[in-house]
Amino acid sequence: MELIFELSGRGKRGDTLPESGIEGVIPTKFLRKDPLEFPEVSEPEVARHYIRLSSLNYHIDSGFYPLGSCTMKYNPKINERIASLEGFREIHPFEPIGMCQGALQIMYELGEYLREIGGMDAISLLPSAGAHGEVVSLLMIKKYFKDRGEKRGKVLVPDSSHGTNPASSALAGFEVVPVPSDERGLISIDALKRLMSGDVACLMLTCPNTLGLFEREIERIESIVHKNGGVLYLDGANLNAFLGVARPGDMGFDMLHFNLHKTFSTPHGSGGPGGGGIGVKNFMKPLLPIPRVEKIGDRFFLNEKMDASIGRIHSFCSNFGVMVKAWVYMKILGGNGLRKVARGAVLNANYLLSRLEKHYEIPYGKGRCMHEFVLSCEPLRKYGVRALDVAKKLLDMGFHPPTIYFPLIVKEAFMIEPTETESKNTLDEFADAMIEIRREVEESPDVLHDAPKKTPVGRLNEVKAARELKVNWYD
């Protein structure tokens, strides 16, 4: 595909703008001596070029996106339409509080919905992503123990955790201590007992974990952590699995982060920005970042006078547009609808698992999972095929591949999360493609090594790309 500079031709124009009428206002010494190196193209060429580029993108509106642990569900367009209303789109953070009552009401109500869903006592919407919520929570935990005069410098992180957990812990100044999984793929209770001590501040637990398995002994885990004076933190990235069915606060979690861009249907990844609010029990409430949206009578205001707070962690009130979309999603679905979301996500995952378990190895959780599951392509190595090859072949068959090589405790991992928004037809098409690939592995494995062939760019030398980060746009 041609670059826009390759379409350029001297004298072509894509605009008919009027004269500005302000010539001579800018002093000559500040004017550019050489012309800008903009391409010269016509308006139709500009429009067609960028439409062609947009059609090369794979996105949730164009196809199934089964990225494990990412919850890439379809984003209802009504969310976008309402968030784009002029009153929301044009609001300015410096507007007087009296002119922002509607926006503050949405933020307050969203916080109350999340508080109820999480079984928590207080909420902050300020973190702008899940990892940001982790860091903020860990800073609160750090200050909590410092204010109590306790020296706790370790955070326990299961070996099946999201990569952000150890990264956030280290960023907050803690020593990361890994907790191994047992033969079931769940956190080892014996190891937790051994590692949980008076210098441990927190256990960061993903539940369901990244294998798509619910921690069956969550009550024992909670007891071990709390008897040793630690904080039990939930990585809420997988909340889609039991949304509206079970509450983390009722399980004994003291804190959690939400992912508005996963569980609550606001755009994920480059479609962002994201949202990662946090929920806490009462003993952590004074430490929440400022400002906090509060209500007196029928009026809303921003409380910026919280003496124990860790302070500001985001400019103004964070990503308001994301909050509007999540609020709309909850308003439309209601409590019963949110429960159906979780049940649909679990049903879809188990249906796919039932279709694929005869063709691929299931290292943990055979026959039953929550919202996602992990296959292993390790048995395919004897044919010279790896998880990467299967993923590349899926691209040729019209599917975005699932997450590969994660979690790290599974060799040649292939992590699949269908979400609740996909139909049985889509799931069957994906399962058929995976089964067809498995057949090809035995009959003609070399075909997989050449994939993808139908995408705009073929297979890249990933090592070279990682080592030589250089792009030549034009000569």
Strand order in the sheet with 255-257: 122-124, 278-280, 255-257, 231-235, 200-206, 154-158, 175-179
The CATH class that applies to domain 77-333 reads alpha beta
| Dist. CA 431–CA 62, nearest whole Å | 18
Instruction: Tell me which fold the domain 339-465 belongs to.
Output: Aspartate Aminotransferase, domain 1 (3.90.1150)
Cα dihedral: 159, 163, 164, 165 (round 10): 0
What's the whole-model pTM score? 0.90
Q: What are the start and end residues of each CATH 3.90.1150.10 domain in the chain?
A: 339-465
Q: Which residues of the chain have pLDDT under 50?
A: 473-475
The pLDDT value given to residue 456: 85
Specify the pLDDT at position 85: 96
Q: What pLDDT score does 270 carry?
A: 59
Domain(s) of CATH 3.40.640.10: residues in the chain: 77-333
pLDDT of residue 475: 42
Identify the pLDDT of residue 267.
84
